[in-house]
Amino acid sequence: MFWKKSVQDDRRKYVRLEKCFRIKYGIITLDKEIPVQFDLLDSVELKYDGHTKDICEGGLCLESEDLKELLKTSIKEGTELKLKILISGKNIENIDIVGKVAWIDFKKEICGVKFLFIQDEDCLKIREYIRNEYVQSYHK
């Protein structure tokens, strides 16, 4: 089942990993009067490509060629996105997430996405991946 993360400020609450993962994403345009439910999001097309600049348990920094135009027209703080993080290797599969744009840097054409809905096991996968990356870098 999906759970909703706290909407409290998570700035530096989680360890961030500078890592580039491919992402497919789409903008959620469902009726705002209806609470977002992950199973209702099958109709959201993941038509944009991007990648992470960094990632943590609570969110990620998104970079994308499409962002330059989307930031002018469709994406603003609070916009909800459906994302699929494409991870290969290390026994981790792709991760489906619903997130909300938390901040935008128009100059760098990047945005921060705070996770709203993520499966418990996927959150754990991200945490373990980050921990393993830090342990490996420490032992180099």
Mean pLDDT of 26-37: 67
- Domains belonging to the chain, first-starting first, are 14-138 (2.40.10.220)
Q: pTM above 0.95?
A: no
- Is residue 37 over pLDDT 80? no
- Is residue 107 over pLDDT 80? yes
Distance CA 74, CA 109 (A): 14
Percent of the chain residues past pLDDT 70, beyond the cut: 77
Residues written for the chain: 140
Between residues 139 and 120, which one has the greater pLDDT? Answer: 120
Average per-residue pLDDT for the chain: 82
Between residues 128 and 7, which one has the greater pLDDT? Answer: 128
Distance CA 66, CA 116 (A): 22
Please name the residues in contact with 113: beta carbons below 8 A apart, sequence gap of 6 or more. 59, 60, 61, 62, 81, 83, 99, 100, 101, 102
DSSP 8-state code for residue 93: -
pLDDT, one tens digit per residue, over 39-93 is: 556 778 899 999 999 999 899 999 999 998 999 999 999 999 999 998 766 666 7
Rounded (10°) CA dihedral 80, 61, 116, 133: 150
pLDDT at 89: 62
pLDDT at 31: 59
pLDDT at 8: 46
Contact 6, 100 (CB under 8 A): no
